[in-house]
């Protein structure tokens, strides 16, 4: 649980630092246009800090870390988020500095988003495996000796 909390905390710090970087870089360069730097801090807060705070709550409730899939989710999701935010930062910085950004940046950012998606799928699969099975409303209750109840229609006994 500590690793999940530390991850959320790290993304909070990255969110604060990236917001400061955006503000100062655009001020120093008298930049007033649109840049991807403006959303890096919101990605760090929403997809980083908030997601891992929610995962922390889910860990407390369902013991997510007991599943082997959780480790896969954790590392793939983090790799995707870091890759996406790094490319957004690079692209945004180049925009502010008036330099072109190549197609490679967009390609790598796309890969980051694919990894994010795979990570989220793994999280949901992990949750699905750990949630207790809900009894069907039409399921018949078991008899005291553990056998299934009668299967005939009412009134046909």
- Whether 40 maps to a domain, the answer reads yes
Neighbours of 136 (CB within 10 A): 7
The pLDDT score that the predictor gives to residue 101 is 85
The pLDDT score that the predictor gives to residue 100 is 87
Q: How far apart are CA 137 and CA 131, in angstroms?
A: 17
- Whether 60 maps to a domain, the answer reads yes
- Whether 41 maps to a domain, the answer reads yes
- Whether 71 maps to a domain, the answer reads yes
Instruction: Count the domains in the chain.
Output: 1
- Token pair recorded at residue 23: 């503000």
- Whether 154 maps to a domain, the answer reads no
pLDDT tens for the 157 residues of the chain, in order: 899 999 999 999 999 999 999 999 999 999 999 999 999 999 999 999 999 999 999 999 999 999 999 999 999 999 999 999 999 999 999 999 999 888 999 999 999 999 999 999 999 999 999 987 665 556 555 556 655 555 555 555 4
* Residues 6+ away with beta carbon under 8 Å from 93: 25, 37
- Domain residues for 15? 2-130
Q: How far apart are CA 22 and CA 154, in angstroms?
A: 70
**Residue for token pair 């967009």:** 106
pTM over 0.95: no
- Whether 148 maps to a domain, the answer reads no
Measured N-to-C along each axis, helices 103-130 and 68-96 cross at an angle, to the nearest 10 degrees, of 150
The pLDDT score that the predictor gives to residue 102 is 84
- Whether 136 maps to a domain, the answer reads no
- Whether 139 maps to a domain, the answer reads no
């Amino acid at each position: 649980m500590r690793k999940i909390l530390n991850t959320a905390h790290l993304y909070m710090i990255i969110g604060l630092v990236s917001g400061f970087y955006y503000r100062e870089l655009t001020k120093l360069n008298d930049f007033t246009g649109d840049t991807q730097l403006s959303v890096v801090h919101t990605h760090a807060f929403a997809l980083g800090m908030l997601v891992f705070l929610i995962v922390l709550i889910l860990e407390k409730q369902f013991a997510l870390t007991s599943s082997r899939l959780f480790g896969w989710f954790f590392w793939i999701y983090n790799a995707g988020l870091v890759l996406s935010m790094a490319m957004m930062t690079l692209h945004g910085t180049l925009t502010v500095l008036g330099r072109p950004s190549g197609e490679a940046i967009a390609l790598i950012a796309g890969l980051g988003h694919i990894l994010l998606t795979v990570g989220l799928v793994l999280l949901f699969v992990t949750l699905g495996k750990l949630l207790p099975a809900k009894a069907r409303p039409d399921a018949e209750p078991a008899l005291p000796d553990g056998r299934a109840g009668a299967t005939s229609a009412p009134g046909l006994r």
